[in-house]
A = this chain, B = another copy of it.
Amino acid sequence: MSPSKVPAGGARGYIIPIGGGEQKEHNPVILDRFVQLCGGRDARLMVIPTASKLEDTGARYQRLFSDLGAAEVHVLDFDTRRDAYEPGRLAQIADCDGIFLTGGNQLRLSTLIGGTDVARMLRERNAHGAHIAGTSAGASFLSEHMIAFGEDNVTPHAGSVTLAPGLGLTNRVVIDQHFTQRNRLGRLITALAFNPFLIGLGLDEDTAAFIGPDQTVEVEGSGTLTVVDAEHLKFSSMDQAGANDPVSMLGLTMHVLIRGNTFNLHSREASAGTLAVGKS
């Protein structure tokens, strides 16, 4: 699939992967910014807790977003693929300013929602201006190429990561989460080694990438976003490596971004953004 087309004169909504573990009660800057982006006191939000197996995940985010001032917050879960074709549920999504996908297991999202009317509607809604955020597993699922599962604490090698089709809001990036906390550089680089056209986004916990309609990513939260860009890759040993052989990647560009820094997915330029104020 490809991202849905933006109608003439319109603007795509933000795509907002979050690295998991975002602040919820004390200083919830990421969740608050999402609510404000969606309209603040006018925001109509939908929480999709399908990745999670915990009973109260949806209700918890519903309460958090309500406390942050959203006008309406609903929870919509999917237990079967049939649920994801049900007109009543689709109608609820059609009406939202923002959709939030919780953490859990991204394979639950892809196996239950992938290829259904709900997946199509989420892409359409985003193309028509609705903002779609996801945390942890919900973040991984947002892009066309999704890290389905993989290994932590490893040197890059072919067996370290398994990709699967995701929701497809964007096809420029592959997203990993809990990035520094779980030492996932090796598997993110491996994902890029398969096909270097992708840009790797490694999100720390309590850190979000606000990907705007102009393809500019702005970082929010207390950690870093590590961008790995293989555009100028000079050599990779991926084609000659066995599943457990370490893989070389020569000529990567890396940016470690903090709150306020930006990266443009189209020009592939990193910028200090608001941190550069007052700097020459």
Residues of A within 8 A of B (CB): 153-156, 180-181, 183, 185-186, 189, 204, 222-224, 228, 234-235, 237, 240, 245-258, 261, 270-272, 275-276
A selection of 5 A-B contacts at a CB cut-off of 8 Å is A180-B186, A234-B272, A250-B256, A250-B257, A250-B272
Q: Are A276 and B228 in contact (CB under 8 A)?
A: no
Which residue of B has the minimal Cβ distance to A189?
A: B256
Instruction: List the B side residues contacting A181 at CB < 8 Å.
Output: 153
A248 and B258 contact, Cβ closer than 8 Å, known pairs A183-B180, A185-B185, A224-B155: yes
| Copy count, this protein chain | 2
A228 vs B253: C-alpha distance in the bound complex, in angstroms?
Answer: 10
Which residue of B has the minimal Cβ distance to A275?
A: B237
Instruction: List the B side residues contacting A255 at CB < 8 Å.
Output: 248-252
A155 and B204 contact, Cβ closer than 8 Å, known pairs A228-B254, A254-B228, A275-B240: yes
Q: Are B253 and A270 in contact (CB under 8 A)?
A: no
Pick from A154, A181, A223, A270 the residue with the most CB of B within 10 Å: A270
A261 and B248 contact, Cβ closer than 8 Å, known pairs A153-B181, A183-B180: yes
8 closest Cβ pairs, A-B complex: A183-B183, A250-B270, A248-B258, A235-B272, A252-B254, A249-B256, A254-B254, A250-B255
A246 and B275 contact, Cβ closer than 8 Å, known pairs A180-B154, A253-B251, A253-B253: no
Q: Which of B185, B237, B246, B254 contacts A253 (CB 8 A)?
A: B254
A130 vs B256: C-alpha distance in the bound complex, in angstroms?
Answer: 39
Q: Are A224 and B252 in contact (CB under 8 A)?
A: no
A276 and B246 contact, Cβ closer than 8 Å, known pairs A156-B256, A183-B153, A224-B155: no
Q: Are B234 and A270 in contact (CB under 8 A)?
A: yes
Q: Are B248 and A224 in contact (CB under 8 A)?
A: yes
Q: Are B251 and A270 in contact (CB under 8 A)?
A: yes
A189 vs B254: C-alpha distance in the bound complex, in angstroms?
Answer: 11
A21 vs B68: C-alpha distance in the bound complex, in angstroms?
Answer: 51
Instruction: List the B side residues contacting A246 at CB < 8 Å.
Output: 204, 222-224, 258
A240 vs B255: C-alpha distance in the bound complex, in angstroms?
Answer: 18
Instruction: List the B side residues contacting A240 at CB < 8 Å.
Output: 275
Q: Are A180 and B155 in contact (CB under 8 A)?
A: yes
Q: Are B275 and A248 in contact (CB under 8 A)?
A: yes
Which residue of B has the minimal Cβ distance to A235?
A: B272
What 6 new A-B contacts, CB under 8 Å, besides A180-B186, A251-B253, A254-B254?
A180-B185, A189-B256, A235-B270, A247-B256, A250-B257, A253-B254
A181 vs B276: C-alpha distance in the bound complex, in angstroms?
Answer: 35
